[in-house]
Amino acid sequence: MTIASTEIRHPAAQGLQTLPPERAAALLAEAQVFAAARVQAAIPAITAAAEVVARAIEGGHRLVYAGAGSSGLMALADALELPGTFGIPADRAPVLFAGGAAALLSLTGAAEDDPAGAASDLAAIHLGPGDAVICVSASGGVPYTLAIAEGARAAGATLIGIANVADSALLKAADIAILLETGPEMVAGSTRLGAGTAAKIALNMISTLTGLRLGHVYEGHMVNLVADNVKLRDRAARMVAELSGSDLGAAGGALGETDGAVKPAILIAAGAEDRGAAEALLAAAGGRLDPALRALRAEPG
């Protein structure tokens, strides 16, 4: 039987328990840096995945995340950040996690071996053509995740597979295969380490590239957010001031007029007559701030 590379003992782990803590920590850090560097080779696949995801969201479809155990947690973390970072509603990015909400309080291995649970989870969300599904599995062979992958393909959704083992079943099934070849873990089989780090980076890259493609990031700022707490209101005011060329007082006033929505507030602070005018500029620009600002500044008077 072939053993997955993630299950093999790392050569540097021999005698790990005997090392001074500082040396053990250094080895662990080096292994994480190595894992992070392995993402570079997957950039073409990651960019292709982001394009598929952006088209899905732009077309009114969904981005669905799926996984089990540590891999599922990486997927869940990325999905939960989408509303606050890019203004993508949670119902447009559901997460299928082996064992459901209960498993988040107590991770158990049995849930990942349950394809029947995957079938039930799939039935609940009614996948269809136009949806994009990201399945994450370090080994690329977890039964729950593979069942989701098979169901996604059968429903006509585009399947993006992220795995850390070459030629794994998930990558073979995927329309877009993202191989993060991180190799053995410092604690054999503990894929929350290097494999998880690489998967988190790849997921961050896909969602951020999606945000860029959709116009939700402008000049390095998350402009599609709605400021609904003190931290976000302060951040939003600084953002509006910087991107509109106004002062903080004008920025705060513009945000008050838009109920905390950053994009129209930037346009108001930059000279748009009111919220209606700002939203009309955004609509004409497909929701993208850059062309909306150019159109505003080109207006006579």
pTM of the model: 0.92
3-class state of residue 31 by DSSP = helix
- Nearest in space to 299 (alpha carbons), one of 266, 273, 274, 265: 273
Which of 7, 51, 81, 257 is catalytic? The answer is: 81
Tokens matching residue 202: 């790849």
- Nearest in space to 88 (alpha carbons), one of 197, 201, 199, 213: 213
Query: Facing residues of 226 across strands?
Result: 261
- In order of their start, the domains of the chain are 5-213 (3.40.50.10490), 217-298 (1.10.8.1080)
**Type of residue numbered 254:** A
Which of 112, 150, 185, 279 is catalytic? The answer is: 112
- The structure tokens 């997921």 sit at 203
On the CB side of 147, CA atoms within 13 Å amount to 20
181 is catalytic: no
DSSP 145-170: HHHHHHHHHHHTPEEEEEESSTT-HH
16: burial class by Cβ within 10 Å (0-12, 13-18, 19+)?
A: middle
81 is catalytic: yes
pLDDT per residue rounded down to tens, the chain (301 residues): 567 777 777 887 788 888 899 999 999 999 999 999 999 999 999 999 999 999 999 999 999 999 999 999 999 999 999 998 999 999 999 999 998 887 787 776 667 878 888 999 999 999 999 999 999 999 999 999 999 999 999 999 999 999 999 999 999 999 999 999 998 887 887 788 888 999 999 999 999 999 999 999 999 999 998 888 888 889 999 999 999 999 999 999 999 999 999 999 999 999 999 999 999 999 999 999 999 999 998 865 4
